[in-house]
Structure 1
Amino acid sequence: MSKIPLIVSTEWLAERQEDPKLRLLDATTFLKQPAEGGYYDVWSGKEAYEKGHIPGAVFADLLGELSDPDAAFKFTVPSRERFVNKISELGVGDDTYVVVYDQGYAVAGAPVIASDWASRLAWQLRYEGFDNVAVLDGGFPKWHEEGRPVTTESGSYPTATFSGERRPELLATKEDVKNALNDESVLLLNSLSEADFKGESDTYARSGHIPGSVNVFFGELSDMKTKELYDEEKLRKKFEDVGALDPSKKVITYCGSGIAATWNALVLNKLGQDNVAMYDGSMTEWAADPSLPLDKVEK
């Protein structure tokens, strides 16, 4: 089976909806930061899926089933056994290809165009050794806006056989990031907003950014009107300006909890930067350890 693109259009998906090898996964999850500030609330998108989704799609529960239930932080990578068991039940196997989408994103109540819940699941699939996976550009909002079919009927696929080998090089740990502080061959890329990067927010236990890191906000890579990623030239400039496309560098992306960082990692991969890892604990883990340094941008 030929490899599919990293990111596909709604038209591309519509043309393949009847393909028996397609596995369409709805990874919708919701996040909202309280109006009074502080750590955000997250909840499953299962109810939204039941109210309407792309025909054929099955719901993939990132929060409840595809994360480690015993970890200190939400959305921590689960054991391989847990992930493989669940993803196999959803029908993803060696002779299939996957398109993942989600139903949208909001940061502190403001809409942001980025399918980062979908990119999180796509990243997990690649981490476990499954390459033939794409993210739907514009996600469910674009699909719905175009008047394409929507259903409340739950999808299902036969249980599959999932093999492949885990790729540890795609995951960065706290120790990896600590080592990167003094390694000029590694670039730390903060995927949060400029305010978060500068240390002007109070979302995490401590504010600021990991020393030496650069900032590309994941919510500024797509056009609010078209809901699609900007053209390659515009995307390339954003990442070139911070040195993230330097072929001699390894890039470690991070955010709050390892979600938005997968969106930036995906776009970097699309632009040809393949040496990218994602820091799963991100600011939630880093800021919680008072022994670890954080920088702020002075006003």
Structure 2
Amino acid sequence: MSYVNPTSLVSTEWLSQNISSPDIRIVDASWYMPGENRDPKAEFEAAHIPGAVFFDIDDIADTDSSLPHMIPAPEKFSSKLRKLGLGDGNRIIVYDGSGIRSAARAWWMIRLFGHDDVSILDGGLPKWQAEGRAIDDLPTKPIERHFTSRINNLLVKEKDQVLANIDSQKAQVLDARSKGRFEGTEAEPREGLRGGRIPGSYNLPFNDLLTSEGTLKSADELKAAYEASGIDLKKPVITSCGSGITACVLAFGLHMLGHRDVAVFDGSWTEWALDETLPVQKGAE
């Protein structure tokens, strides 16, 4: 089988050939776990794809929330993107420094706020650099462009909705964390978080959707991975992870297979585990 939404993923070769197109805007959305000790903004300033702007996931967020990088109000999102020169009529290409990880979060957010013409660069900056393609350290000076924010609430779920779903089972919850974190046998990277998972959820570590080169697996391989996790691809899915980043990789893979009923639990495990009133399931069962 082929990808159902093939234009949502672009190759390094395609971007190299189309990088000067007037409607193309390139976005670096790199983000790293605290334990990785990497500064994505500093790395962007030192080396980025020519013409790229930096999408700061921790800044284009609800910075008043105690939770990490929760989605902002539509007004804030449109203001931030406008200043990055991203807006109506643009085809936005997102990449990150891992291959495909945080780029999927930016892809999801841009679609969440109503701009569907957004794609992910397959393999990201590592593949681009490995192929010897052009890299820049010059600051990009974007020209402001109007961005119309129209939030699509079907693409996001909040804590109370996920709690209600435990009883209703209208949607399947799919967790992108490692098996150890999902089962509660491996410590969470954020201090003070309970281990385990949302009761009744399924597990598909996001890396299982990627090749060893950090590119997205084929449609057949994606389908097999979701089905092996226990997910019924004909039913609604809510994706979750540690803090809403890699949940978007699972959402992206489902989008590539043409799944139309996929939402991301924005607060994910961080929000769930911090609330001691919420149920937690542990172990392999």
TM > 0.5 between the two?
Answer: yes
Partner of 2:274: 288
TM-aligned CA deviation for residue 245 of structure 1: 4.6
Contact 1:6/1:135, CA 8 A, preserved across alignment? yes
Distance 1:175 1:122 in 2: 25
Superposition pairs of residues 150-161 of structure 1, within 5 angstroms: 150-161=135-146
Within the alignment, does 1:202 sit opposite 2:187 as a pair? yes
Distance 1:159 1:43 in 2: 29
Distance 1:122 1:156 in 2: 22
Letter in 2 for 1:268: L
Distance 1:42 1:128 in 2: 31
Partner of 1:178: 163
TM-score by length of 2: 0.93
Distance 1:66 1:242 in 2: 32
Within the alignment, does 1:132 sit opposite 2:120 as a pair? no
TM-aligned CA deviation for residue 181 of structure 1: 0.3
Partner of 2:221: 234
TM-aligned CA deviation for residue 44 of structure 1: 4.9
Within the alignment, does 1:254 sit opposite 2:240 as a pair? yes
Superposition pairs of residues 33-44 of structure 1, within 5 angstroms: 33=35, 44=39
Cα 1:234–1:4 change in 2 (3 A) is closer
Question: How many residues are treated as equivalent by the alignment?
Answer: 278
Unaligned runs of 5+ in 2: none
Within the alignment, does 1:94 sit opposite 2:96 as a pair? no
Superposition pairs of residues 160-171 of structure 1, within 5 angstroms: 160-171=145-156
Cα 1:181–1:27 change in 2 (3 A) is same
**Deviations, residues 165-201 of structure 1 (Å, cap 9, x unaligned):** 1101111000110011012331000110011111112
TM-aligned CA deviation for residue 243 of structure 1: 4.4
Query: What do you get for the CA RMSD once the two structures are aligned?
Result: 1.7
Cα 1:71–1:52 change in 2 (3 A) is same
Contact 2:176/2:241, CA 8 A, preserved across alignment? yes
Partner of 1:51: 46
Distance 1:207 1:11 in 2: 42
Q: Secondary structure at the match of 2:48?
A: coil
Decide which of 121, 128, 145 is 2:106's aligned counterpart.
121
Bigger strand fraction = 1
Cα 1:88–1:43 change in 2 (3 A) is farther
Distance 1:298 1:56 in 2: 47
Decide which of 13, 16, 19 is 2:15's aligned counterpart.
13
TM-aligned CA deviation for residue 282 of structure 1: 0.6
Within the alignment, does 1:215 sit opposite 2:203 as a pair? yes
TM-aligned CA deviation for residue 42 of structure 1: 7.5
Bigger helix fraction = 2
Distance 1:243 1:20 in 2: 44
Distance 1:13 1:272 in 2: 23
Identical amino acids, percent of aligned pairs: 35
Contact 1:245/1:268, CA 8 A, preserved across alignment? no
Distance 1:6 1:49 in 2: 23
**Deviations, residues 42-71 of structure 1 (Å, cap 9, x unaligned):** 8751100011111111111111x2011100
Unaligned runs of 5+ in 1: 34-40, 105-113
Cα 1:97–1:285 change in 2 (3 A) is same
Distance 2:87 2:40 in 1: 24
Distance 1:77 1:272 in 2: 24
Partner of 2:31: 29
Decide which of 257, 278, 281 is 1:271's aligned counterpart.
257
Q: Secondary structure at the match of 2:18?
A: coil
Within the alignment, does 1:83 sit opposite 2:70 as a pair? no
TM-aligned CA deviation for residue 157 of structure 1: 2.4
Runs (4+) of structure 1 exceeding 4 A deviation are: 41-44
Q: Secondary structure at the match of 2:252?
A: helix
Distance 1:10 1:272 in 2: 23
